[in-house]
């Protein structure tokens, strides 16, 4: 395993280092090594440290070109380019998800030790997803950066950088939970179009993403309890305040239940068709 001898020996500072890395493959490989180094007990953790605030976007390669979500070109699934474009969108989501997990790890001080361990686990698994999907895209004759992409996930990270409660509510509980709803349909479309090999990769992604949303739910509920807030009304207020993505069906009720959403929250979705 390569060693990162010149990197910070404290886990949150190391996470900030990898957040700022621009090369996507170097970033994903570095994050995986970071998790391994932590598991080997070769890093320390300072939960109280207030690190230098990053006011700009995290490290990002020169490509893909970032455009408005409405400007991302749609392509027919019955063409190689159309299938590659859908996989490329997933690769880009996973790249952003690495950054989101790293940002949650370094940015918010004075959380319990297990909070940081949880988000390192998420970063490690998102890096794995990125690598699996990027390699699959290469097997189709394309590469990350060949298509345009949007930055909606990171835009919400900027909006919530002031408060860990808002971050947990609007990233894992809202935008990432949406992935639980849409990935099964994307998987089915790709397989129907002839991309059989992507199925097992998306099975891994789906399994892990349930755990990631569950981590967001756990820390959202923890923070509500610490602050004496009622979770469901607090969540609704944050969604309205930050103009979060609309909650629209179909919803994957089974996956959302496994990720820790309350039965009352799930019941509120019952009038919309789900994948369950």
pLDDT single digits (tens) 209-242: 999 999 999 999 999 999 999 999 999 899 889 8
SS3 category, 53: coil
What pLDDT shows up at residue 274? Answer: 45
Rounded-to-integer distance, Cα 30 and Cα 101, Å: 14
**Partners of 243 in the β-ladder:** none
Instruction: Estimate the share of the chain in helix, then strand, then coil, as percent rounded to the nearest 5.
Output: 65, 0, 35
- Residue 36: is its pLDDT beyond 90? yes
For residues 76 and 159, which has the higher predicted lDDT (pLDDT)? 159
Spatial CB neighbours of 79, under 8 Å, sequence gap ≥ 6: none
Give residue 193's pLDDT band: very low, low, confident or very high (50, 70, 90): very high
Instruction: Please give the pLDDT value at position 78.
Output: 80
Average pLDDT in the chain: 90
pLDDT digits (tens, 9 = 90+) for 78-131: 888 999 999 999 999 999 999 999 999 999 999 999 999 999 999 999 999 999
pLDDT at site 4: 67
CA distances from 255 to 177, 212, 214, 251 (A): 9, 12, 10, 9
Query: Structure tokens of 175?
Result: 């935008």
Rounded Cα–Cα distance for residues 127 and 94 (Å): 7
User: Collapsing DSSP states into helix, strand and coil, what is residue 164?
Assistant: helix
- Evaluate if residue 55 carries a pLDDT over 80: no
- What is the reported pLDDT for 10? 95
Lowest mean pLDDT across 132-136, 226-230, 250-254: 250-254
Instruction: Give the lowest-confidence range in 16-25, 47-56, 89-98, 148-157.
Output: 47-56
Please give the average per-residue pLDDT across 15-35, as a whole number: 96
Residue 270 has pLDDT above 70, yes or no: no
pLDDT recorded at residue 238: 94
70 vs 268, higher pLDDT: 268
User: How high is the pLDDT of residue 170?
Assistant: 95
Instruction: Report residue 137 as tokens.
Output: 């895209």
């Amino acid at each position: 395993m390569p060693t990162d001898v010149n990197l910070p020996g404290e886990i949150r500072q190391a996470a900030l280092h990898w957040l700022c890395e621009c090369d996507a493959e170097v970033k994903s490989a570095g994050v995986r090594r970071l998790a391994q180094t932590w598991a080997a007990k070769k890093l320390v953790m300072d939960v109280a440290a207030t690190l230098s605030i990053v006011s700009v976007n995290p490290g990002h390669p020169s490509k893909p070109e970032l455009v408005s979500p409405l400007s991302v070109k749609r392509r027919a699934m019955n063409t190689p380019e159309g299938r590659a474009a859908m996989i490329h969108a997933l690769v880009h989501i996973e790249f952003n998800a690495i950054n989101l997990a790293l940002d949650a790890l370094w940015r918010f001080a004075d959380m319990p030790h297990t909070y940081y361990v949880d988000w390192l686990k998420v970063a490690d698994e998102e890096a794995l997803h990125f690598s699996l999907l990027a390699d699959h895209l290469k097997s189709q004759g394309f590469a990350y950066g060949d298509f345009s992409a949007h930055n909606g996930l990171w835009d919400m990270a900027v909006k919530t950088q002031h408060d860990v409660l808002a971050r947990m509510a609007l990233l894992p509980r809202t935008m990432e939970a949406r992935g639980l709803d849409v990935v099964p349909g994307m998987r089915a479309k790709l397989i129907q179009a002839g991309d059989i090999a992507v199925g097992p990769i998306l099975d891994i992604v789906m399994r892990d993403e349930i755990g990631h949303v569950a981590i967001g739910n756990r820390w959202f509920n923890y923070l509500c309890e610490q602050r004496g807030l009622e979770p469901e009304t607090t969540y609704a207020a944050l969604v309205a305040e930050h103009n979060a993505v609309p909650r629209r069906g179909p919803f994957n009720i089974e996956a959302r239940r496994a990720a820790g959403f309350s039965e009352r929250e799930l019941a509120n979705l019952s009038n919309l068709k789900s994948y369950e």
